[in-house]
A and B are shown apart, each in its own frame.
Chain A
Amino acid sequence: MKTKDGYLTLNILIFVKATIDRNAPLDPDEIFPGDRDDKSDVMTNNYDKHAIEAALRIVEEKGEGKVTAVCLGSDMADKVVKEAIAMGCHGAIRIENSEAEITHFFSVAKILAASAKKIGEYDLLIFGMQSYDYGTATMAPMVAEFLDLPLACFVEKVSLNEGKITVEKVIEGGTRTMELQMPAVLSIASTGDYEEPRYTSVRRIMKASKTDVPVWEISDLGIDDDEPSVEFDDIEVPPARTEKCVVIDEGDPNELVGKLLDTLKEKGLNLGAFK
Chain B
Amino acid sequence: MKQLTKIFKTLNFDKETQEQNEMILDMVYELAMNEIIEKEQDWDEEGAHFDPETKQVSYPSGMMDLYKKCQQNDLFSIIVPEKYDGFGLSYTLWNAVIELMARASLAFSMFFPSQGLNIEIINKFGTSEAKEKYLPLLASGDAIGAMAFSEPNAGSDISAVATKAEKEGDSYYLTGNKIWLSHGGAAGTYITFAVTDKSAERGRGLSAFVIDPKIAKENLEVVRIEEKMGLHGSITAQMALDRVEVPKENLLGKENDGLRLILGSLASSRIGIAAQAVGMSETALQESVNYSMQRSQFGRQIGKFQAISFMLADMATRVHQARLLYLNTAQMKHIGEDTQVESSMAKYWATELAQKVTYDAVQIHGGYGYSREYRVERLFRDARVLTIFEGTSEMQKTIISRGTLSRAQK
Contact present for A199 and B27 (CB under 8 Å): yes
Q: Is the CB of A79 within 8 A of B23?
A: yes
A83 at the interface (CB under 8 A from B): yes
Asked whether A201 and B23 contact (CB < 8 A) given A40-B2, A40-B5, the answer is no
Nearest B-chain residue to A78, judged by Cβ: B19
Give A43's nearest chain B residue, CB to CB.
B26
Does any Cβ of A come within 8 Å of B186's Cβ?
A: no
* Nearest CB of chain B from residue A38's CB, rounded to whole Å: 8
A206 within 8 A of B: yes
Question: Is B73 part of the contact surface with A, judged by Cβ < 8 Å?
Answer: yes
A-side binding surface: helix, strand, loop or mixed? helix
Q: Is the CB of A202 within 8 A of B72?
A: no
Q: In the complex, what distance in Å separates the CA atom of A181 from the CA atom of B72? A: 35
Chain B interface category by residue count: 20 to 34
For the complex, what is the distance from the CA of A38 to the CA of B73, rounded to whole Å?
26
Report if B16 contacts A (CB, 8 A).
yes
The stretch from B74-82, B298-306, B390-398 touching chain A is B74-82
B255 at the interface (CB under 8 A from A): no
Q: Is the CB of A209 within 8 A of B20?
A: yes
Q: Which residues on the B side are within 8 Å of A113 (C-beta)?
A: none
Complex alpha-carbon distance, A40 and B78, angstroms: 23
How many CB-defined contacts (below 8 Å) exist between A and B? 50
A208 and B19 CA atoms in complex are apart in Å by 9
A: interface residue count bin: 10 to 19
A82 located at the interface, meaning its Cβ lies under 8 Å from any Cβ of chain B in the complex: yes
Contact B73 A201 (CB under 8 A): yes
Cα distance A202–B27 in the bound complex, in angstroms: 9
What is the CA–CA distance of A39 and B87 in the complex, to the nearest angstrom?
25
Q: Is the CB of B74 within 8 A of A203?
A: yes
Contact in complex: B27, A200 (CB < 8 Å): yes
A-B contact pairs, 26 of them (CB 8 A): A38-B2, A39-B22, A40-B1, A82-B23, A83-B23, A199-B27, A199-B31, A199-B73, A201-B27, A201-B72, A201-B73, A202-B24, A202-B78, A202-B89, A203-B74, A203-B87, A205-B20, A205-B24, A205-B27, A206-B87, A208-B23, A209-B16, A209-B17, A209-B20, A209-B23, A210-B16
Interface residues of B (CB under 8 A from A): 1-2, 5, 16-17, 19-20, 22-24, 26-27, 30-31, 69, 72-75, 77-78, 87, 89
The 10 closest A-B pairs by CB, nearest first: A202-B74, A201-B73, A205-B23, A209-B19, A200-B27, A209-B20, A201-B74, A209-B16, A203-B74, A199-B73
